[in-house]
Amino acid sequence: MYLGFHEEGDRCSQKDCNGVLEYPEVENCSCHITPPCSACTNQQLVCSECGWEDEAEPYTYVQVAPGLAMQEYKPRPLDNTKVDYRIKMHTHFTQKCVGVYPEGMSMADVQKVVDGTFGGRFLKFGGGKFEFVAYTD
């Protein structure tokens, strides 16, 4: 099953493109001061032919006060053409999976994807959205 993750050297996934995904040259590297630096760890894969980027930067900077910015996380939108979800903390032995699924998919099919090590249970299911508590420990 393809989960949407790309690696350096993969073929570009865009239609009619035969490019190869690679990391661009790092600019403003400060690893000599405190490795690894954000310039190196925030690199995104780019297609050598069409310029497509693997994923948009999930962080944006918000001005909190003059001269002071704070990093704000903006998660990517969930894809309802497949079972797609975010994992949230729940308890010390469970995690909550909140996500979407294609219309017409059964509860059992969704559970196969999000099930924890020791099973789990749905809190909500319907209308293409779900909340699932996965038992992990």
Tell me if 88 is assigned to some domain. yes
What are the backbone angles phi and psi of residue 107, rounded to the nearest 5°?
Answer: -60, -40
pLDDT at 106: 94
Q: Which two tokens stand for residue 70?
A: 């704070």
User: In the predicted model, is pLDDT for residue 132 greater than 60?
Assistant: yes
For the segment 114-128, the average pLDDT, to the nearest whole number, is 93
**Residue 30, domain extent:** 21-73
125 and 101 inside one domain:
yes
Whether 94 and 113 map to the same domain: the answer is: yes
For residues 88 and 114, membership in a common domain is answered with yes
Per-residue confidence band for 59, with pLDDT thresholds at 50, 70 and 90: low
Indicate the number of domains in the chain. 2
Distance of CA 66 to the CA centre of its chain: 32
Shared domain check, 88 and 57: no
Distance in Å from the first CA to the final CA of the chain = 25
User: Is residue 91, in this structure, part of any structural domain at all?
Assistant: yes
Domain boundary (52, 73, 94) is at: 73
Same domain membership, residue 68 and residue 26: yes
114 falls in which pLDDT band (50, 70, 90)? Answer: very high
pLDDT > 60? residue 70: yes
> Quick check: is 7 in a domain?
no
Which of the pair, 135 or 37, is modelled with greater confidence?
A: 135
Statement to judge: residues 37 and 68 lie in one domain:
yes
* Residue 43 within any structural domain of the chain: yes
User: Are 99 and 69 part of one and the same domain?
Assistant: no
Same domain, 33 and 60: yes
pTM: 0.51
- What is the secondary structure of 2-38 as a DSSP string? --S---TTPBP-STT---BEEPPPP-S--TTTSSSPH
In a domain, 64, yes or no: yes
Is 62 found in the same domain as 29? yes
Between 37 and 126, the higher pLDDT residue: 126
Q: Is the pLDDT of residue 97 over 80?
A: yes
- pLDDT higher than 50, residue 25: yes
